[in-house]
Amino acid sequence: MYTHPQHGGGEEVKELRRRAGAWLKNRRTEVGLTQRALAEAVGLEYYTMVSMIEAGRGRIPPDSYLAWANALQMAPAEFVRTLMQYYDPITHAILFGEISEAGTAATDSGTSSAKTAKFRVV
């Protein structure tokens, strides 16, 4: 049985979340937003939640992807596609068939590379 890579607390998941957070922080600073301004724009009560996400200790819930994409001045599809590299690299590789920054790949035949084998099957 497949276990979703983001539902565990392993080091690989933590590293992917840290990398997602670094990407989000970089994008936030590129568009000139503070953590507080971003929190307001996406409807978060506390700006510290942005800090937690950027530090890799949380993740953006899918029901707020559109708000985050708009606040970060990105097309929603581009935002989700990039975020998926970190939050769900196996699905990203299957859908887009390319090597992602998160380190997974899929070949043209639809089979995933050995890099994706790091996620456990139980």
CA 90: distance to chain centroid? 12
In 3-state terms, what secondary structure has residue 121? strand
Sequence-distant (6+) residues with CB within 8 A of 79 are 65, 68, 69, 72
pLDDT tens, residue order, the chain (122 aa): 345 555 556 888 899 999 999 999 999 999 999 999 999 999 999 999 999 999 999 999 999 999 999 999 999 999 999 999 999 999 889 998 865 555 545 444 444 343 444 444 33
Q: Which class for 111: exposed (0-12), middle (13-18), buried (19 or more C-beta within 10 A)?
A: exposed
Distance CA 105, CA 93 (A): 5
Count H helices and E strands in the chain, helices first: 6, 0
Report pLDDT for 97.
81
- Torsion sign over Cα 114, 119, 121, 122: positive
Domains in the chain with CATH codes: 5-118 (1.10.260.40)
